[in-house]
Homo-oligomer: A and B are copies of this chain.
């Protein structure tokens, strides 16, 4: 799916950016479920996939910028491996395809690194998110475990983010595949959902599509309680009159990911209050998409969405007063407590392991701590090649409404009695994925219906 030169060029660009040093890239290992031989499906580290492209465990790479060496540390499979897990392409053949010609057995990595340390060569690594890689860095570089995150190389993080933030045409083509497959999951949910099914029946059917058509890494929220933002409980039984919120995505074979949300009626039609709120969310979504283009700060689009939502809620008498001021103070966040969206790529939240603030913010633009804004993952100016999600939502969260009401918070801006009358709408979110183009944006993947009339038509 990638040209033979892709990974070589990516490494060359990284080396040009960093100029000097020794970069240590660690691959992932299998994660045990309840004992080592029973592991979760193996997922390679995304940065390792990006620069090295070899999708198997127990690998590490050293890029020595000063000595111009690229070394892959890993082992070829033995006869026992072949008996138990079948014969796979040779590591050296896989390495050659991505331009790596020096391979050293993995157990020689500690010695190699200690030689480098003896020469006082600084070794640059990325902050590990897998505990096995924290342990590896602890043992290999002799850094106390609690100090490992802050001893990671900021220069390396920034160079990787700079590069991975801009998707090439090859990458965008992979994202199109992933988002289209993700869209199939959503069409299936709309096809099968009906009163009496459990949320887990929907979740199982969506994962079925992911596993039959890709490597099977999927995530999904399939809930009639959309107001619980990251609900992964699937035990409710769908009831006529409820909305089903499905926030689900999956990877295509190259591990690029899609991330779509739809909220549709368990029955055939949206109820009147559901429709009122849905139209506001859809309007916020479309208003943002119309504004997507290079040079615009995503923070400003987030505020635009907040504004659109707050104006819509004012029209329903749920919010009141000066909306400009309400949004400035963060009153709308009672109903829209999360961020407008995030980067998308080899990770659903792209590069979140490297630190959200490195990906979505920069030196000029720091994260705001206001409730709502503090959850905004992406704020920086958009650039051509960014792949992002747009996912405004409106939620009626009983615990939060109760707390704010008791504290009389923003009572000039919020009509709590009216808000309580919408508690049964629970939560609505509409999410699609877009690539920023030189002149604006384009939808990634095949469109999935999001107009009320289209969805009601699909729901028969």
Contacts and interface: CB of A to CB of B under 8 A. Distances in A.
A186 interface: no
Given A86-B233, A230-B84, A353 B34 contact: yes
Interface stretch (A284-292, A295-303, A305-313, A342-350): A342-350
Q: Assembly of this chain: how many copies?
A: 2
B83 A400 contact: yes
Contacts of A35: 129, 347, 349, 351-353
Interface in A329-359: 337, 346-349, 351-353
Contacts of A82: 399
A204 B211 contact: yes
A338 to B, nearest CB: 9
A135 interface: yes
Given A34-B46, A36-B129, A203 B211 contact: yes
A217 B33 contact: yes
Interface residues of A, number: 64
Contact of A79 (B131, B208, B403): B403
Interface string A172-213: 000000000000000000000000001011011101111111
27 contacts: A31-B31, A32-B130, A32-B353, A33-B43, A34-B45, A34-B46, A34-B129, A34-B347, A34-B353, A35-B129, A35-B353, A36-B129, A38-B347, A38-B348, A38-B349, A79-B400, A83-B229, A83-B397, A86-B231, A87-B399, A131-B134, A134-B135, A135-B135, A139-B146, A204-B208, A204-B216, A207-B207
